[in-house]
Structure 1
Amino acid sequence: MEPRSVLDIDFRALTDRVFHPSPAAREDEVLYFLLVDRFSDGQEDGYLDNAGSRATGGTPLLGAADHGNAVPPVAGEESAAAWRAAGGGWVGGTLAGLRTKLGYLRRLGVTAVWVSPILRQVPGAGTYHGYGTYDFLAVDPHFGTGEDLRDLVAEAHRLGIRVVLDIVLNHAGDVFAYEPDVVPLWTGQPYPVRGLRPDGVWPLELQRPGTFTGKGRIVDWDRFPEYVEGDFDELKDIHLGSGDPDGYRPSPALIALTRAYQYWIAYADLDGFRVDTVKHMDQGAARYFASAIHEFAQSIGKERFALIAEITGDRAFAVRTLQSTGMDAALGLADVQDRLEWTVKGARDPAEYFALFRNSLQVGVDSHAWFRDRVVTGYDDHDQVRKGPSKARFAADDLGRRLALAALALNATTLGIPCVYYGSEQLFDGRGGNDRYIREAMFGGSFGPFRSRGRHAFDETHPVYVELAKILALRRRVPALRRGRQYLREISGDGVGFGLPRLLGAGFPGALRSVVPWSRIFADHEVVLAVNTDPFEARTAWVTVDDGLHAEGSTLTCRYSTDAGVVGGTVPVEARNGKAVLLTVPAAGFVMYEAAG
């Protein structure tokens, strides 16, 4: 029976067992983020199950001819409107369905799956995403049961995959109404409320007076204290406590929520939390939660339980927040996402992306390697705040489709903890300009990818899936790709004049069509990597390598190339700009070279 109060939880019984250990290092992980409602219902036909055997089901595999089958021209606007409407509500993905696709993720190279919030949501069509919780002690029936969560985690652990659950502390769902029944704007003053809605809010401790700030919805998302005290539209802000971080006084609500999330760690053997909207919480509240969760996790043997904080904003703000709160890594940094995407598409200087992981002292960090396990990197996600009304996936146009593998490779082999957003390995396009269109259902249903329905996309023969799996396998094998220092390398066309790859103009798309190389060095072992931002033509350039690690006349061996025919071939090290090698990178391609042995 589900507990109704945190006092109902028998922690002694829950913790009397051996728990799955934490990873040796967070930077070794490869995250995969999915929305449970949009991932799998377990009914797909012809996919490979967790053991690698062909499974049967009712939903066929998506083919090119199925693109647009939900919006055929002959059907008119009515059919297109039905497909669009389906994307605004529950589609039908479940925890049990996700469990059947863990083999798909393991074979891709995923080591940790980040699962969207799965606790019980306020009634209605608009909370399929999971961020409108009213019961923090129960799994939403749309997703399954607590036992389904426990079974998912157990199977993931058996396959070598950790599970990071997305959680919300900052707010609950639409659990009460203001008086009158409209959502007022934040003015800094509390508004009268009518009381809790019929389903209430749980655990019982959240039903006390003073649980919610009750100050209306945020209008200015960057004005303090508005963005801390205000509601996320209809989602109601929870009063977490008061005071500065060093002397913070947690509210009864924060204490109860912390205990509830400790319950889920023990109940399901979770490996980490992605903590939603940390920017919008008091830093003292985030610190209290981080301390209590880390201590609880360590007490049951999870020494490196991950707390990944969603911190929208720039790098310096994220660093200050992590240092103040004690959370482990930041996710959602707009400058990381934006610079990664536009570096590959040739519209930003590559130095801007690589500089995010340098100059640690400028943000008060005393280690050059500090960022390697403190920043989750990626470019596509489920809300794309940075894009405003122009939301679409990286592969929404021809340029993005051609360069998608290069973007995934750059993300996987540069500093940070890489995160793949579900469907990127299948080139989902997410066109439409709204959140719903970047949340397509992998299993098809009524809101499938590429404006389809009734077709699933778990295709392990897709070229991007196949090549990304090879790249992630190299990441597992080569420590430098996970833990090494990182250097953007100078290039040359003639082997005489060298310089960093730069835009030719003022940042217009397509301004940079070039080899973009970098090195990862770990324990005197250098790996040289490069992408080609030219989507149509192969590019050749002299690439600088470490002068002290290579002798003139030695060679580097190609370990990976999007031109499979050159893998295993070698290039000589020459005395140019210290030392350099001549590399050819296929159009929109990626290569990796290292010294033999």
Structure 2
Amino acid sequence: MASFQRLSDIDFAQLTNRPFYPSPLAWEDQVLYFLMLDRFSDGNESGYLDNEGNPVAAGTTPLFRRSDDYENAIGTRAEAETWRDAGGRFAGGTLRGLESKIGYLKRLGITAIWISPVFKQVVSQESYHGYGIQHFLDVEPRFGTADELRRVVQTAHDHGIYVILDIIFNHAGDVFGYNADRYDTFDEHRNITYIDPRWDGRPYVVAGYRDSRGDTSLPFQTIDLAQHPDAWPDGAIWPAEFQTPDTFTRRGRINSWDHDPEYLEGDFFTLKDILHGSGQLDDYQPSPGLKAICEVYKYWIAFADLDGFRIDTVKHMDLGASRYFTAVIKEFTMSLGKENFYLIGEITGGRQRAFTTLELTGIDAALGVDDIPDKMEYLVKGYRNPTEYFSLFRNSELIQKESHIWFRNRVVTMVDDHDQVRKGENKARFCAAAGTDQQLVAVVALNVTTLGIPCLYYGTEQRFDGHGKNDRYLREAMFGGEFGAFRSRNRHFFDEDNEAYRKIADILAVRRQHLALRRGRQYLRPISGDGLSFGLPQMLGGQIRSVVPWSRLFNNQELLCAINTDADQPRTAWVTIDNELHRAGERLRCIYSTDLTVSAPDVEVEARNGKAIRITVPAAGFVIYG
């Protein structure tokens, strides 16, 4: 398919004249998997299982074996430098590679994949992450083609998997340069020297659009291709509707990330801010640029049959712009029969901002990448009180909601992610610290069996341990290449025999079988050592090494889940359960345990603290009783 130069070239009537894949009834039933396309698969692996579960012998990259391949890329100082440098460039992941691994995700238990942006990037820059768009109506050639994107979605749908695409409309890529001498500013946090001016509340003069070499040789206006034929396809910005100067705020880069209006109208580092409109929320007037953005993303929904969007940097956009976009997209998708097309917003700045934004804009869910992963990770590692995590989902005056059931489908929860803003310069996946990989299954279990829509970050199921001062260390290549996980090269990680992969798949299978684990009310449960004195589990001396239990209740059914924050030994405790749903003398069955070598016995309900059962949870383990 040839890419479009103008939005007016799109024939929406033809695109929409077909049946579309229906939306899920409930997104809280889904398990998401976030992958960075450039770092997932290049399709050249060998020794993995194809989409139907058959062994694949072809390919040039063998499976990683820890005993032989661990840190094989950093044997010398020069090799280590080569490995680190490779992490800052395109690694080689493709849409074809992703299509070949849909079966791997299906067998893991994934029901929706969230793909990083696939759109064409500024050709002179290494924006492998996809957030520096130069052509909104084309796919980045290094990833593949638009038709290959459509095939990925079709293959996913054929396997019962929905597709959520990461989109950006706060900004474009670094498509123009400012008309000024160098504004050199060194950012020690990101180890970057900026050459763009800082925001100071007024627009700057623009030197011109960038050409294919990155020089500002093209006029900052709608491009006449007769005079500047070299602007297509790698210069300026496309489609042509975005080329008018008023598309951009042109006020320089954000320096103070919480200063209003700086964080709303400043550039996101070198990524150029788009002007969305003006006015208050209820009478917001969308700009031509915002209207064009809506048409762009309507096109991709219709072309590829997408099921949802993850919207980048919502905090940095007017609420009126987000509401307008949401309304346009919702109306369009309902016209296609996608009644529950899902919009997930990346809304940083705390829970108050997130939930206010959801209420005022109509965005369906917030991406919980702030306090949720912190409380989740360090609870399992034994350094947070359980109430700190579970209270995030309870009734709260802060969000002015009467029932915590509201959280079922309003928050996407995850442990690892691709930038970990919360950790500053100490970025690290869950398994980065020595000995913590044995606790991984417990934290994933906590994630997928508590409230919210759970999301796994790619590589978590293979215990990736990336860490360092830069985002790149969280973005290892699953297919190996020059920047493989565990400081390796030329080894892939699609290992379905990995213990973590198998246990996570088992837990997700149990989740699919029990509605209570997906939609039920949630209660942190009191525990007791002697069966007489009960209280909520809590830290002692700055640590908690204990059984941490919670219940999910739905339609008179209770499932009790519990983790053990002690990684060295099993822990036993009396656990309170619902007094009215159970009678003394009945027995509860162990539905799941991470210790597959021991057949966990049924437990008897006793009249203690209302009703209680006595359970044992394996070291760093997880159990479900019901």
Scaled by the length of structure 2, what TM-score is found?
Answer: 0.93
Q: Which of 189, 197, 207 does residue 210 from structure 2 map onto?
A: 197
Partners of 1:90 and 1:125 within 8 A in 2:
no
Q: Does 1:301 align with 2:333?
A: no
Shift of 1:6: 1.4
Partner of residue 551, structure 2: 519
**Partners in 2 of 1:245 and 1:400 — Cα distance?**
46
Partners of 1:121 and 1:173 within 8 A in 2:
yes
Shift of 1:403: 0.9
Q: Which of 200, 209, 223 does residue 259 from structure 2 map onto?
A: 223
**Partners in 2 of 1:529 and 1:27 — Cα distance?**
18
The one-letter code of the counterpart of 1:303 is E
Q: Which of 61, 64, 74 does residue 63 from structure 2 map onto?
A: 61
Secondary structure in 1 aligned to 2:349? coil
Shift of 1:46: 0.8
Q: Does 1:417 align with 2:450?
A: no
Shift of 1:317: 1.4
**Partners in 2 of 1:224 and 1:504 — Cα distance?**
42
Partner of residue 537, structure 2: 501
Partner of residue 530, structure 1: 562
Identify unmatched segments of 5+ residues in structure 2.
Answer: 183-194, 212-234
Aligned pairs for 1:62-211 (under 5 A) are: 62-64=64-66, 65-72=68-75, 76-180=76-180, 182-198=195-211, 199-211=235-247
Partners of 1:376 and 1:419 within 8 A in 2:
yes
Q: Per-residue CA shift, 1:436-474, capped at 9, x if unaligned? A: 010000000010000000000000000000000000001
Secondary structure in 1 aligned to 2:163? strand
Q: Per-residue CA shift, 1:20-69, capped at 9, x if unaligned? A: 00001010010000000000001100100000000121100000120110
Deviates most, 276-285 or 307-316: 307-316
Secondary structure in 2 aligned to 1:536? coil
Q: How many correspondences in the alignment?
A: 587
Partners of 2:106 and 2:161 within 8 A in 1:
yes
Shift of 1:126: 2.6
**Partners in 2 of 1:48 and 1:428 — Cα distance?**
20
Partner of residue 442, structure 1: 478
Q: Per-residue CA shift, 1:176-203, capped at 9, x if unaligned? A: 0011153011111111111211211111
Q: Does 1:472 align with 2:508?
A: yes
Shift of 1:360: 4.3
**Partners in 2 of 1:175 and 1:407 — Cα distance?**
41
The one-letter code of the counterpart of 2:389 is Y
**Partners in 2 of 1:559 and 1:566 — Cα distance?**
13
Partner of residue 353, structure 1: 389
Partner of residue 373, structure 1: 409
Deviates most, 366-375 or 99-108: 366-375
**Partners in 2 of 1:360 and 1:110 — Cα distance?**
31
Secondary structure in 2 aligned to 1:237? coil
Partners of 1:409 and 1:468 within 8 A in 2:
yes
Q: Which of 313, 317, 327 does residue 281 from structure 1 map onto?
A: 317
The one-letter code of the counterpart of 1:589 is G
Secondary structure in 1 aligned to 2:55? coil
**Partners in 1 of 2:379 and 2:61 — Cα distance?**
38
**Partners in 2 of 1:433 and 1:361 — Cα distance?**
37
**Partners in 1 of 2:7 and 2:176 — Cα distance?**
21
Partner of residue 589, structure 2: 557
Partners of 1:111 and 1:161 within 8 A in 2:
yes
Deviates most, 464-473 or 227-236: 227-236
Shift of 1:120: 0.2
Partners of 1:534 and 1:588 within 8 A in 2:
yes
Shift of 1:568: 6.0
**Partners in 1 of 2:165 and 2:349 — Cα distance?**
22
Partner of residue 230, structure 2: none
Partners of 1:558 and 1:566 within 8 A in 2:
no
Q: Which of 567, 573, 589 does residue 605 from structure 2 map onto?
A: 573
Q: Per-residue CA shift, 1:85-142, capped at 9, x if unaligned? A: 0000001000110000000000000000000000000124530000000100000001
Residues 1:381 and 1:218: Cα distance change in structure 2 (over 3 Å): same
Secondary structure in 1 aligned to 2:56? coil
Secondary structure in 2 aligned to 1:442? coil
**Partners in 2 of 1:299 and 1:427 — Cα distance?**
42
Q: Percent identity?
A: 59
Partners of 1:490 and 1:544 within 8 A in 2:
yes
Partners of 1:415 and 1:486 within 8 A in 2:
yes
**Partners in 1 of 2:275 and 2:487 — Cα distance?**
41
The one-letter code of the counterpart of 1:91 is A
Partners of 1:314 and 1:333 within 8 A in 2:
no
**Partners in 2 of 1:437 and 1:126 — Cα distance?**
16
The one-letter code of the counterpart of 1:61 is L
Partner of residue 330, structure 1: 366
Q: Which of 534, 541, 544 does residue 576 from structure 2 map onto?
A: 544
Partners of 1:560 and 1:567 within 8 A in 2:
no
The one-letter code of the counterpart of 1:2 is S
The one-letter code of the counterpart of 1:185 is R
Q: Which of 302, 305, 308 does residue 269 from structure 1 map onto?
A: 305
Deviates most, 56-65 or 98-107: 56-65
Secondary structure in 2 aligned to 1:516? strand
Shift of 1:364: 2.0
**Partners in 2 of 1:313 and 1:400 — Cα distance?**
29
Residues 1:143 and 1:169: Cα distance change in structure 2 (over 3 Å): same
Aligned-residue CA RMSD (Å): 1.0
Q: Per-residue CA shift, 1:202-239, capped at 9, x if unaligned? A: 11111012111111111111121111111111111111
**Partners in 2 of 1:232 and 1:567 — Cα distance?**
54
**Partners in 2 of 1:317 and 1:536 — Cα distance?**
40
Partner of residue 27, structure 2: 26
**Partners in 2 of 1:576 and 1:565 — Cα distance?**
30
Secondary structure in 1 aligned to 2:613? strand
Secondary structure in 1 aligned to 2:455? strand
Partners of 1:258 and 1:293 within 8 A in 2:
yes
Identify unmatched segments of 5+ residues in structure 1.
Answer: none
Partners of 1:190 and 1:213 within 8 A in 2:
yes
Secondary structure in 1 aligned to 2:551? strand
**Partners in 2 of 1:289 and 1:12 — Cα distance?**
21
Partners of 2:394 and 2:403 within 8 A in 1:
no
Aligned pairs for 1:309-324 (under 5 A) are: 309-324=345-360
The one-letter code of the counterpart of 1:320 is T
The one-letter code of the counterpart of 1:256 is A
Secondary structure in 2 aligned to 1:502? coil
